[in-house]
Amino acid sequence: MSEITVPGVAPKGPIGKAVFWARANLFNSWLNTIITLVIIYGVVRLVPPVIQWAFLDSVWSAPDNSVCRAALGACWAFIGVWYRFILFGRFPYDEQWRPLLVCFIFIALLLMSCDRRFWNSWLMLIWVAGTAVIATLMWGGVLGMTFVETDLWNGLPLTLILAVFGLGFAFPLAILLALGRRSHMPAIRALSVGYIEFIRGVPLITVLFMASVMLPLFLPTGTTINKLLRAEVAFILFSAAYLAEVVRGGLQAVPKGQFEAADALGLSYRQKMQKIVLPQALTIAIPPLVNTFIGAFKDTSLVIVIGLFDLLNTANAALNDPAWRGYYVEAYVMISIIYFVFCFFMSRYSQHLEMSFNKGKRR
Amino acid sequence: MTTDAVYKPAETSKVAFYRDPRIRAIFFQVVVVGAVVALAVFLVNNTLVNMARQGIATGFGFLDKESSFAIGESLIAYDPSDTYRRAFVVGLLNTLSVAITGIVFATILGVFVGIARLSTNWLIRKLAQVYVEFLRNIPLLLQLFVWWDLLRVSAPGPRQAWQPLPDVFVSNRGLLYPVPVWTEVHAWMGIASLVGIVGTYILGKWAKARQAQTGQQFPLLKVGLGLILGLPLLVYLAGGAPTELNKPVLSGFNFVGGHGVSPEFAALLIGLSVYTSAYIGEIVRSGIQAVNWGQSEAAAALGLSKARSLRLVVLPQALRVIVPPMTSQYLNITKNSSLAVAIGFPDLVSIGNTSLNQTGQAVEVIAMVMAVYLIISLSISLFMNWYNSAIALQTR
pLDDT tens per residue across span B342-390: 888 888 998 888 888 888 788 888 889 999 999 988 888 888 778 877 7
Angle at Cα B291 formed by Cα B288 and Cα B292, nearest 5°? 140
pLDDT band for B141, please (50, 70, 90 cuts): very high
Q: Which residues of A touch B142 (CB under 8 A)?
A: 301, 312, 332, 335-336, 339
Domain boundaries, chain B: 2-54, 84-165+265-391
Is A205 part of the contact surface with chain B (CB cutoff 8 Å)?
Answer: yes
Interface of A with B in 314-343 (CB under 8 A): 316, 326, 328-329, 332, 335-336, 339-340, 343
Chain A residues within 8 A of B33 when measuring between CB atoms:
187, 191
Nearest to B46 among A40, A205, A219 (CB): A219
- Whole-number percent of chain A with pLDDT over 90: 20
Nearest to B370 among A187, A202, A298 (CB): A202
Task: Say yes or no for a CB contact (<8 Å) between A185 and B339.
Answer: no
Q: Which residue of B has its CA nearest to A205?
A: B338
pLDDT (tens digit per residue) in A260-304 = 999 999 888 889 988 888 888 888 888 888 888 999 999 999 999
Chain A CB contacts of B49 below 8 Å:
221
Are A134 and A155 found together in one domain? no
Give me the pLDDT at residue B192, please: 87
Contact check, Cβ <8 Å, B138/A343 = yes
Which chain B residue shows the shortest CA-CA distance from A198?
Answer: B374
Q: Is A1 on the interface with B (CB under 8 A)?
A: yes
CA–CA dist B74, B82 (Å, integer): 13
Which residue of B29, B341, B362 is in closest CB contact with A217? Answer: B362
H or E element that contains B323: helix B315-336
| A24, A121: one domain | no
pLDDT band, very low/low/confident/very high, at A361 (cuts 50, 70, 90) = low
**Interface contact A2, partner B, CB < 8 A:** yes
Q: Which of these ranges, A33-42, A194-203, A324-333, B92-101, has the smallest mean pLDDT?
A: A324-333
- The string of pLDDT tens digits covering residues B5-54 is 445 554 555 677 777 778 888 888 899 999 999 999 988 888 888 888 87
Closest C-alpha among A184, A180, A172 to residue A196: A180
* % of chain A residues with pLDDT over 70: 96
- Chain A positions in Cβ-Cβ contact with residue B51 (cut-off 8 Å): 217
- Residue in A281, A289, A283, A288 with CA at minimum distance from that of residue A258: A281
Give the tens place of pLDDT for each residue, B267-280. Answer: 899 999 999 999 99
Last residue of a domain, one of A126, A147, A168: A147
Residue A84 placed within a domain: no
Q: Which residues contact B46 (CB under 8 A, 6 or more apart)?
A: A217, A218, A219, A220, A221
User: Which residue in A has a C-alpha nearest to residue B342's C-alpha?
Assistant: A305
What's the length of chain B?
A: 396
Helix (H) or strand (E) holding B363: helix B362-391
ipTM: 0.87
pLDDT at position B129: 92
Dihedral angle at the C-alpha atoms of A313, A317, A320, A325, nearest 10 degrees? Answer: -80
Higher pLDDT, A1 or B133: B133
Q: Quick one: average pLDDT of A236-258? A: 90
Using a CB-CB cut-off of 8 Å, the residues of chain B touching A316 are 145
> Does residue A289 sit within a domain?
yes
Residue B138: pLDDT over 80: yes
Pair (A242, A104) in one structural domain: no
Q: Contact A144/A76 with Cβ under 8 angstroms? A: no
Interface test with B, best of A202, A292, A337 (most B CBs within 10 A): A202
What would the pLDDT profile of A307-351 be if each residue is shown by its tens digit? 889 889 888 888 888 777 778 888 899 899 999 999 999 988 888
Query: Does position B391 have pLDDT exceeding 70, yes or no?
Result: yes
pLDDT for B271 equals 93
Q: Which chain A residues touch B356 with a CB distance below 8 Å?
A: 209, 213
CB contact (8 A) between residue A332 and residue B146: yes
* Rounded mean pLDDT, A131-143: 82
Q: Are residues A103 and A51 in the same domain?
A: no
Separation of alpha carbons B205 and B220, rounded Å:
10
Cβ atoms within 10 A of the Cβ of B199, count? 15
- Cα–Cα distance, A209 to A220 (Å, whole number): 19
Chain A 211-230, residues with CB within 8 Å of chain B CB atoms: 213-214, 216-221
Q: What are φ and ψ of residue A230, in 5° steps?
A: -60, -45
Q: Which of these, B331, B339, B334, B335, lies nearest to B144 by C-alpha position? A: B339
Q: A129 at the B interface (CB within 8 A)?
A: no
More confident residue, A169 or B18: A169
Write a three-state SS string for chain A: CCCCCCCCCCCCHHHHHHHHHHHHHCCCCHHHHHHHHHHHHHHHHHHHHHHHHHHHCCECCCCCHHHHHHCCCCEHHHHHHHHHHHHHCCCCHHHCHHHHHHHHHHHHHHHHHHCHHHCCHHHHHHHHHHHHHHHHHHHCCCCCCCCCCHHHCCHHHHHHHHHHHHHHHHHHHHHHHHHHHCCCCHHHHHHHHHHHHHHHHCCHHHHHHHHHHHHHHHCCCCCCCCHHHHHHHHHHHHHHHHHHHHHHHHHHHCCHHHHHHHHHCCCCHHHHHHHHHHHHHHHHHHHHHHHHHHHHHHHHHHHHHHCCCEHHHHHHHHHCCHHHCCCHHHHHHHHHHHHHHHHHHHHHHHHHHHHHHHHHCCC
* A205:B338 CB<8 A: yes
Could you tell me if A35 lies within 8 Å of chain B, comparing CB atoms? yes
Closest chain A residue to the Cα of B356, Cα to Cα: A213
**Helix (H/G/I), strand (E/B), else coil: B360:** coil
* Contacts by B60-65, CB closer than 8 A, 24 or more apart: B60/B364, B62/B355, B62/B359, B62/B361, B62/B364, B63/B88, B65/B359
Distance of residue A134 Cα from the nearest chain B Cα, in angstroms = 25
- Average pLDDT of chain B, as a whole number: 83
Residue A225 or B275, more confident: B275
pLDDT score recorded for residue A173: 94
B344: closest chain A residue by CA = A305
Residues A275 and A155 in one domain: yes
Helix, strand, coil % over all residues of chain B, rounded to 5: 75, 5, 20
Report the CATH number that the domain containing residue A268 is assigned in CATH.
Answer: 1.10.3720.10
Cα atoms in the Cβ-side hemisphere of radius 13 Å centred on A190: 7
- Tell me what pLDDT residue A1 has: 45
If asked whether residues A267 and A289 sit together in one domain, one would say: yes
- Across the range B308-333, mean pLDDT stands at 86
Write phi, then psi, for B179 (nearest 5 degrees): -130, 150
- pLDDT of residue A362 exceeding 90, the answer is no
∠ at Cα B191 (B185, B192), nearest 5°? 85
**Which one of A156, A217, A299 makes the best mutation probe of the B interface by having the most chain B beta carbons within 10 Å?**
A217
Looking at the complex, report in whole angstroms how far the Cα of residue B141 sits from the nearest Cα belonging to chain A.
7
Residue B395 pLDDT > 80: no
Report whether pLDDT(B259) > 80: no
Determine the Cα–Cα distance for residues A165 and A132; give it in Å rounded to an integer.
Answer: 12
pLDDT of residue A242: 92
Chain B residue nearest residue A217, CA to CA: B47
Dihedral of CA A231/A236/A237/A243: which sign?
positive
CA B362 to chain centre: 27
Whether B349 sits inside 8 A of A205 (CB atoms) is yes
Rounded to whole angstroms, the Cα distance separating A59 from A54 reads 9
For B46-80, what is each residue's pLDDT tens digit?
888 888 887 777 777 777 787 777 787 877 777 77
What separation in angstroms does the CA of B236 have from each of A42, B75, B232?
A: 40, 27, 6
Inter-residue contact A221 to B50 (CB < 8 Å): yes
Q: Domain total for chain A?
A: 3
Tell me the chain B residues in contact with residue A204 when contact means C-beta distances shorter than 8 Å. Answer: 335
Interval B174-194: pLDDT, tens: 777 777 777 778 888 888 888
With cut-offs at 50, 70 and 90, classify the pLDDT of residue B158.
confident
Distance of alpha carbon A216 from alpha carbon A212, whole angstroms: 8
Beta carbons of A302 and B120 less than 8 Å apart: no
Q: Are residues A171 and A300 in the same domain?
A: yes
Calculate how close chain A gets to B272, using CA atoms only, in Å. Answer: 14
The per-residue pLDDT for A204 is: 92
- Asked whether residue A110 falls in the same domain as residue A155, the answer is no
Q: How far apart are the first and last CA of chain A?
A: 21
Q: Which domain holds residue A143?
A: 94-147
Largest CA distance in chain B: 101
Is residue A138 a contact partner of residue A105, using CB atoms and an 8 Å limit? no
The CA distance from A61 to the nearest CA of chain B, in Å, is 23
Task: Give the HSE-up count for residue A47: Cα atoms under 13 Å, Cβ half-sphere.
Answer: 6
Say how far apart CA A303 and CA A196 lie, in whole Å: 21
CATH class of the domain comprising B84-165+265-391: mainly alpha
In A, which residues are within 8 Å of B336 by CB distance? 203
Interchain pair A217, B341: CB under 8 A = no
Residue B135 is predicted with a pLDDT of 93
- Mark whether A206 and A234 lie in a shared domain: yes
CB contacts < 8 A, A to B, total 144
B373 neighbourhood in chain A, CB within 8 Å: 201-203, 206
